[in-house]
Structure 1
């Protein structure tokens, strides 16, 4: 899995951090998302999918390894 984020549209809601704190964080200055690991391990994939689903701005994009 590879994670990309459209930073121009991120609103800093932080739901991604709540859903997958080992993969996402927030910038202290503006609250925008920081991807800690753009290629998370398999045990984090479901949390990352949940983070993408929860994102109100729909800025988290996932590409599965077999795409």
Structure 2
């Protein structure tokens, strides 16, 4: 599973970081930092899905 981030839509609410802190971080400038490259790390798929569903602006989605 891959995570697709629409950085233009992201408003830095940080809800993704709340549900998936191993995957996402909001930096000091309010910018989203994805904490992995490539596929979502094993065991984090459920949290990735939760992050997609909780994002209030639809900036996250998964593929595969």
TM-score, length basis structure 1: 0.85
Residue correspondences, number: 63
Structure 1 residue ranges, 4+ long, deviating more than 2 angstroms after superposition: none
Equivalent positions of 1:51-66 (< 5 A) are 51-64=51-64
Superposed CA deviations along residues 20-48 of structure 1, whole A, max 9, x for unmatched, are 0000011211x121111142223000001
CA distance in structure 2 between the partners assigned to 1:48 and 1:19 by the alignment? 8
CA distance in structure 1 between the partners assigned to 2:57 and 2:31 by the alignment? 12
1:50 maps to 2:50: yes
Q: Which residue of 1 aligns with 2:41?
A: 41
Structure 2 residues without counterparts, runs of 5 or longer:
none
Structure 1 residues without counterparts, runs of 5 or longer:
none
> 1:10 Cα shift?
0.5
